[in-house]
Amino acid sequence: MAVDRNRLVVGSVAGLALVLVVWWQWPSSATTAAPRPAGAVTAQKSGARPTAAASSTGPVEVRLNALAGDRQEPGKAARNPFRYQPKAAPPPKMVTPVAPPPPQQQAGPAIPVGPPPPPPIALKLIGVLERANGVKWAVLSDGKSAPLYGKDGDIIDGRYVIVKIGTESIEMTYADGRGRQMIRLTGQ
């Protein structure tokens, strides 16, 4: 019990010493006020809230005569706010052009360039008909005129040949044999 009582007394004395040091170092509120200039108005007298800077450094001086001085006139407006126009681009900077370095060419095998491939066949398969004798007919549309009909080996529109008709697609080429394409059933 004696050990606990000693700790209590030492802790109390240390706490009291700390409170006395803080009280001694605390700034007193009874500081002397700084003399004010004759024409100065403080924030407290004008009814406004004092700012942190005003309360810590003293009264704030308001110079009313500066409000009556000459002011700079506004310049000419750069754009009309009531009309939509993109903002004008800033003038380009004057920079001397630097020539880009010549591209480095890689040595490699040359790829042979052949004729371009033919354009895609502009027909849609809109149906497949099967007759009683087992012959299938394709119904094609170019979207501009009446539907076109044909069976295996027929020339359609004077430009295309039907190679093979399946259940949901047909195979076609150009009349000269190039550009073989598979056209799927679109249902339109």
pLDDT, tens only, 63-117: 888 888 787 777 776 667 777 777 778 887 777 767 777 777 776 677 778 888 8
The order of strands in the sheet holding 181-184 is: 155-156, 160-165, 169-174, 181-184
Task: State the pTM of this model.
Answer: 0.40
Domain parsing of the chain, residue ranges: 124-184
Q: Would you give the DSSP letter of residue 177?
A: S
**Residue 1: which pLDDT band, with cuts at 50, 70 and 90?**
low
DSSP string, 65-126: GGTTS--PPP---SS-TTS--PPPPPPPP-----PPPPPPPPP-PPPPP-PPPPPPP--EEE
